[in-house]
A = this chain, B = another copy of it.
Amino acid sequence: MNNPSLYKGILRPIVIRLLEEKKKMYGFEITREVKSLTAGRVKITEGALYPLLHSLEAEGVLESEQQFVDNRMRKYYKLTPRGKKVSKHSFGEITEFVTHLQNIFNLKPA
């Protein structure tokens, strides 16, 4: 991506949001989805994503289930009930965050 450091701290809410919308995704799919939603500009690295997924699972926000497709392993993740609460909260924070950016940078749509 253009300036990776902008996205520092935002990966976690992104993953949670995508799982809220898609119900069930595997890691590689998440990287593709973010690329697609941002016209190829935002590339989540695997070195960031997989450890994050593991810690979200350890926190009880996500739960996983393995499947084999074409002899290749996929690890599907979805929100737990607790994850759904976290998701609502996280979404509120992001909404506020974007509002703040619009105020600070004078980006408010006319």
Q: Please report A residues at the B interface, Cβ cutoff 8 Å.
A: 2-3, 5-10, 12-14, 17-18, 21, 34, 37-38, 41-42, 91, 93-98, 100-107, 109
Contacts and interface: CB of A to CB of B under 8 A. Distances in A.
Contacts of A107: 94-95, 98
A98 B100 contact: no
Given A95-B107, A105-B91, A107-B95, A100 B37 contact: yes
For this chain, the copies found in one complex come to: 2
A100 B17 contact: no
Dominant SS among interface residues on chain A = helix
B42 A100 contact: yes
A61 to B, nearest CB: 15
Contact of A6 (B5, B9, B109): B9
A19 to B, nearest CB: 12
Nearest to A103: B37
A102 B109 contact: no
Given A100-B38, A101-B98, A107-B95, A9 B5 contact: yes
